[in-house]
Amino acid sequence: QVQLVQSGAEVKKPGASVKVSCKASGYTFTGYYMHWVRQAPGQGLEWMGRINPNSGGTNYAQKFQGRVTMTRDTSISTAYMELSRLRSDDTAVYYCARDRNYGDSGTFDYWGQGTLVTVSS
Amino acid sequence: DIQMTQSPSTLSASVGDRVTITCRASQSISSWLAWYQQKPGKAPKLLIYKASSLESGVPSRFSGSGSGTEFTLTISSLQPDDFATYYCQQYNSYSLTFGGGTKVEIK
C-alpha cells in the first residue's frame, strides 16, 4: 500500500531554514511527481511546487521562488522540501502529496500526514 | 496565476440534504478541476478529478460537473461523515491553485 511518512514537527526562529522529509513506500518512487502543499492555521491549501523524482527537475510556485528547494534521494525513496529565510507567516502544516498519475497530472491521490512548522522568536 | 473562488464559504445543512458547492476560475481551465475533502487534523482526500470523474472508492453520492470557468460539487444526500471542508483545485496551468474552501456544517 502507498504510504508517505513525513518528518516530525519543527520549531524555528525567524530567518532560519527548515527541511522536511517525505519517505515514500508501496510504489515506484521515481514514477510519480511529488508535490508540496502547505496550510496555515485555520486557512486554506497552498501549492508550493513539484519535483520529478526521476530527473530531479523542479517547478516552484512564484511566491516561493528563491526561498524553496525541493530535492530527492532515490536510494531511500525520500523527497525533501527546504524553506529558507523563515517568517512568522510560514507557520503552517506542510504536506507532501503524490501525483495521481504516472508522471504529472497535477492532482494528488496520496498525502503525507503533515509536518507542523512553527516559526517563532 | 489562475484564481479559484468558491462559494459559499460556509454552508449549514442537515443529514439527507442535497448540497451544492460552486467553484469559479478566473479564466478557462477546460475540465482540469479536482475536488478534495478535508477533515480537521487530517490531510485532504481526492474526491473528483477532471471535473466529473469520481476517484476510486469515493461514494457515488458525490458528483462534479462544469467546464470552462464554472464548476459544481454536489452531494446528493448528505451523510454524517460528509461534514468537512471542501476545496476545488485547478490543474490547467503549470502553477496549481486551490479555492478558499467551503465548510459544510451541521444545521
Residue A42 distance to chain B (closest CA, Å): 10
Nearest CA in chain B to A95: B43
B-chain residues near A105 (CB < 8 A)? 49, 91
Distance CA B5, CA B3 (A): 7
Cell of B22: 460552486
Domain segments of chain B as ranges = 4-106
Q: B4-106 maps to which CATH number?
A: 2.60.40.10
pLDDT digits (tens, 9 = 90+) for B19-62: 999 999 999 999 999 999 999 999 999 999 999 999 999 999 99
Q: How many residues does chain A have?
A: 121
Cell of B68: 470552462
From the list B32, B87, B95, the residue facing A44 with the nearest CB is B87
Residue B91 distance to chain A (closest CA, Å): 5
Cβ of A107 within 8 Å of Cβ of B49? The answer is yes
pLDDT digits (tens, 9 = 90+) for A54-107: 999 999 999 999 999 999 999 999 999 999 999 999 999 999 999 998 777 899
Angle at CA A59, nearest 5°, toward B94 and A34? Answer: 95
Distance CA B91, CA A60 (A): 14
Nearest CA in chain A to B102: A44
B-chain residues near A58 (CB < 8 A)? none
pLDDT digits (tens, 9 = 90+) for B7-30: 999 999 999 999 999 999 999 999
A-chain residues near B46 (CB < 8 A)? 100, 107-109
